[in-house]
Amino acid sequence: MSFPNPATSVKLVLLGEAAVGKSSLVLRFVSNDFQENKEPTIGAAFLTQKCTIGERTIKYEIWDTAGQERFASLAPMYYRNAQAAIVVYDITKPASFIKARHWVKELHEQASKDITIALVGNKYDLVEDDTEEESLRKVSVEEGKGLAEEEGLLFFETSAKTSYNVNDVFIGIGSKIPEAASAGPNQIHQTNNDGRIDLTSDPNNRPRAAGDCAC
């Protein structure tokens, strides 16, 4: 019956060629019965989903590329302060794997050094029933693993369609993210150490403006 710790917020960015299933993967994660009572939400900004790993609760803020990668027009803002990234490719499309290499390189250049990256080969459902002679698979597990080892990434093969391994990606990332200094239980203050202002704090509950006398 202890009081739960506040969730750690983690900014996670998605990268990968169009149509490899970035959206489906996240959609599967956020709308799955992954955790009861924790409804995923989408607003204008990004998707959020809470995920409890052991004692910790991680609140993922999942940024999709919103199409801005199509013409290589991702803004610096996209990478800024991202603590985690998922680079997705389609195991039936070799070109998407090449593109994945590109995104990993881009992440090393643009993102912070201690970012946790997961390489994800999606569409596992398409190769599940494959026979050896006739396979849709064009990128082998070994190739994926190889790249991941080379670059120090987590590696998963998933199916957004059957939800195979999807949650594991997010749990895997969550357990690799270093524990941030947790905030105190009484979060009345609107600024933290960084001087960041919480714009969501209700101005109506704030003390009346000093010059705002009873006139």
Partner 1 sequence: MMSRTERRKSMAERRPSVSYTPSVIPHLAGLEKPQEPSLKIDQCDVLIMGTGLVESILAASLSWQGVQVLHIDNKNYYGDSSSTLTIDQLKKWCMEVNSGRLQHFQDAQIYIPGGKSTNKFNSKDYGIDLSPKVMFCKSDLLALLIKSRVYKYLEFQSLSNFHVFENDDFSQKITTQTSKEDIFTDKSLSLITKRNLMKFLKFILTDNKDPVKKKILVDNGKVKVQDFLVKQFNLELPQINELVYSIGLCINEGTETREAMAKIKRFLVSFDVYGSFPVMVSKYGGPGEISQGFCRSAAVAGTTYKLNTSLVDYDPRSKIAKFNDGSHVKINEKLVISPTQVPKFLQSNYNEVTENLKQFSITRLITVVRRDCKEWMAEQDSSAIVVFPPHSLPTNNEQSVQVIIQNGNTGVCPEGQSIWFSHTSEQDLNRAKQDLESAYEKMEASLLREANADLEGAFDDQDFVLSAQGTPVFVNSFKLGESLQNFVPKEKLEIVCKVGYVQKTYANPDLSNIFHATAEDNVVLKNVADAENDILFSNMPSAELSYDGNISEAKLIYQKITGSDEDFFDVDFEDDDDDYDNNDPHDSSNLGSSTTLKSSSSNALASDNEDVIVDSSDDDDHNPFGADEMEL
Partner 2 sequence: MQHGIKRVSLSAEAKRLKLEKDKSKIAHYKQLTENIFSLRNLQTYTVESLKETTQILQINPEFYTMWNYRREIFEHLKNNIPVEDYAQLMDNDLKMLMVILKRFPKVYWIWNHRRWCLFELVKINRVDWQYEYAVVSKLLELDSRNYHGWQYRRFVVQNMQIQATTKAAPASKNEESLVVLGINIEEFKYTTSKINKNFSNFSAWHNRSTLIPKIYNLYLQLEAPSEKSPDVYDIFKSPRSILTHELELIKTGMYMDSEDTSIWLYMWWLLTEKFFTDELRKEDGAYLAVLEEQLANVEELNELEKSDHIYHWDNCWCLKTIILVKGLIQQEHVKTNKSSALLTQDIKNHIQALIEIDPLRKGKYLDQLEGKASIIPIL
Q: How many CB atoms neighbour CB 169 within 10 A?
A: 24
Q: What is the nearest approach in angstroms of partner 1 to the Cβ of residue 111? A: 12
Q: Is 176 in the site for partner 1 (CB under 8 A)?
A: no
Q: Which of 129, 133, 181, 210 binds partner 1 (CB under 8 A)?
A: 210
3-state secondary structure of 51: strand
Residues that bind partner 2 (CB under 8 A): 1, 3, 14, 22-23, 26-27, 42, 64-67, 186, 188, 205-208, 210, 213-215
Would you state the structure tokens that stand for residue 116, as one six-digit string? Answer: 């946790």
Identity of the amino acid at 27: L
CB-CB contact of 159 with 25 (8 Å): no
Binding partner of residue 80 among partner 1, partner 2, none, CB cut-off 5 to 8 Å per kind: partner 1
Question: Should residue 24 be labelled a site residue for partner 1 when binding is judged by CB under 8 A?
Answer: yes
Of 32-71, binders to partner 1 (CB under 8 A) are 37-46, 48, 61, 64, 66-68, 70-71
Phi, psi of 64 (to 5 degrees): -90, 170
Residue 181 as a binder of partner 1 (CB under 8 A): the answer is no
Which C-beta is closer to partner 2: that of 67 or that of 152?
A: 67
Residue 11 or 22: which CB sits closer to partner 2? 22
Please report whether residue 208 would count as binding partner 1 according to CB under 8 A. Answer: yes
Q: Could you give the CA distance from residue 2 to residue 62 in angstroms, rounded to a whole number?
A: 29
Q: Residues with Cβ < 8 Å from 129, sequence gap 6 or more? A: none
Rounded distance, CA 202 to CA 131, Å? Answer: 60
CB of 48 to partner 1, least distance (A): 7
**Strand, coil or helix: what is 74?**
coil
Q: Which helix (H) or strand (E) holds 95?
A: helix 94-110
How many alpha carbons lie under 13 Å from residue 149 in its C-beta half-sphere? Answer: 6
Residue 205 interacting partner from partner 2, partner 1, none (CB closer than 5 to 8 Å by kind): partner 2
CA distance 86 to 153: 10
Q: Which of 23, 52, 163, 167 binds partner 1 (CB under 8 A)?
A: 23
Q: Is 75 in the site for partner 1 (CB under 8 A)?
A: yes
- Residues of this chain that bind partner 1 (CB under 8 A): 1-4, 6-7, 18-19, 23-24, 27, 31, 37-46, 48, 61, 64, 66-68, 70-73, 75-78, 80, 185, 187, 190-191, 194-201, 203-204, 206-213, 215
